[in-house]
Amino acid sequence: MALASLVISSFSLLTVQSVLKGLQSNRIERGKQTLGRYIIDLEKDFNFKKATSYLNDNNYKYTLEYEIEGLIRLEGYLAPVIFHGIIEDTSSILPKAIDHWPKRNEILMSPYLARKVYAGLDDRVQLISPAHTDTFFGELPRFKSLDVEAFTDSMDPDIDEFHAWGHAYSAFSIAKSRHYNKLRVFSNLTKIQEEQLKSKFAGDGARFHTWEELNQNLVFALALENNVVLFLFLATIVLVTFSIISGLSIFYARVRNDFASFWILGMSMGHIKKYGGLNIAIITASAIAVGNILSFIVLKLLVQFSPTIMPAMFVDRSLPVRFEASSFFYSFIVPVIITVVFTLLSNWRFFKDNGNFMTFVKKVGT
């Protein structure tokens, strides 16, 4: 029963880790495909022609935009918004959240954001920017009236809650400027390419950020979630190991006669200890290996068939799987180390209490 529990524990540990990392990876990937893997803040003196030439030569996917942090208003309702002013270009790509390039006087937002101001399709909302004002009218914030003609869906609640997209000229008309202030690179780069991109733009009227740097709280929360799950399952394996130790006490009591027989026939105590501990360690390691193999098979089948098991309200309706070396390490090596250490301690304690079996042999003789 203890070994069966060990198989189930190792099976669960690898399965939960792989599925959890699959869900987390999808969550992060959706954010990067919408807001970019690398975000570069641009200054007014930035050389756009030089930058776009470098990106096009390297076949990088990117989007230039003018970003405004402001408010949307419909009648008496207000909601904060991050407005991304983009324009169709042969070298630019669409963010994942939207399915077409915004037209002039059009705003694309999520239904969640629209509900904050009770806006529906064909409604006209005002995009207000408190950072841009007209002094002639007494520091009144500038605004632009835009039509809600389609909704977006990034499948990321944090993005859907605040972000909206529109034509770049809508942002330009508010800012009274035609210089983009954001460059978003969507290509998945290697570390060397990332360093080259950073060195290319850093100090050239731009500030370079990765998606992870701008979303440190989310990255930390996901890492903490994974560590908590890992800790809980390792704790269950420690409890299973205590069950194994209890089982070993019964096991040693039953095979003590056999050990004594080996000693009488001439086998040294060192060899008896060695083979006894080695066999028990192999049994426990094999149980963990069986659990990991079964988990790997189940996960492979899950990837192959991807059954839809979650309700429609969930973004990932099938359970995604992500295999990582760390998952196999924690689900195999760490439990093996824990169980082997405890079993060897139990083995050492048994032989310490029984000495060289002389007392046991004398009792049998009487």
Pair (15, 78) in one structural domain: no
46 within a domain of the structure (yes/no): no
Question: How much is the pLDDT for 37?
Answer: 92
Asked, for residue 203, whether it belongs to a domain, the answer is no
Q: How confident is the model at residue 163 (pLDDT cuts 50, 70, 90)?
A: very high
> Cβ distance 174 to 144 under 8 Å?
yes
Q: Which of 90, 30, 31, 85 is nearest to 55 (CA)?
A: 90
- Helix, coil or strand: residue 155: coil
Q: Are residues 225 and 360 in the same domain?
A: yes
Instruction: Provide the domain limits for residue 103.
Output: 62-185
Would you say residue 121 has pLDDT above 70?
yes
Phi, psi of 210 (to 5 degrees): -95, 160
Instruction: Work out the average pLDDT over 269-275.
Output: 74
Last residue in a domain, options 185, 207, 240: 185
Half-sphere exposure of 196 (CA within 13 A, CB side): 10
Q: What is the per-residue burial (b if ≥16 Cβ within 10 Å, else e) of 327-352?
A: bbebbbebbbebbbebbbebbeebbe
For residue 315, the 8-state DSSP code is: S
pLDDT at 317 over 60: no
Residue 262 corresponds to which amino acid?
Answer: F
Do 97 and 179 fall into the same domain?
Answer: yes
In terms of Cα–Cα distance, which of 248, 243, 244, 252 is closest to 354? 252
Listed residues 185, 204, 233: the one ending a domain: 185
Structural domains of the chain, count: 2
Which of 81-95, 96-110, 223-237 bottoms out in mean pLDDT, i.e. has the lowest?
223-237
Helix, strand, or coil (residue 356): coil
pLDDT of residue 15: 85
Examine the domain organization and report whether 245 and 157 are in the same domain. Answer: no
Residue 167 has what pLDDT?
92
What string of DSSP letters covers 35-99? H-SEEEEE-TT--HHHHHHHHHHTT--EEEEEEEEEEEEETTEEEEEEEEEE---TTB---TT-S
Paired sense of beta strands 182-185 and 206-210, if any: unpaired
* Residues 256, 177 within the same domain: no
For residues 169 and 293, state if they share a domain.
Answer: no
pLDDT of residue 69: 92
In this structure, the answer to whether residues 244 and 348 fall within a common structural domain is: yes
Residue where one domain finishes, among candidates 142, 163, 185: 185
Point out the least confidently predicted range of 133-147, 230-244, 343-357: 343-357
Q: Specify the pTM.
A: 0.74
For 199-216, the pLDDT digits (tens) are 877 766 678 889 998 888
Q: Is residue 206 part of a domain?
A: no
3-class state of residue 133 by DSSP = strand
Same-domain status, 171 and 223: no
Residues 84 and 173 in one domain: yes
User: Which of 6-15, 72-81, 235-244 has maximum average pLDDT?
Assistant: 72-81
- Specify if 190 maps to a domain: no
**Structural domain includes residue 238:** yes
Is the residue at 200 inside a domain? no
The pLDDT confidence band at residue 236, using thresholds 50, 70 and 90, is confident
Domain check: are 274 and 166 in the same one?
no
Q: Please indicate, yes or no, whether residues 223 and 112 belong to a single structural domain of this protein.
A: no
Q: Are residues 155 and 18 in the same domain?
A: no
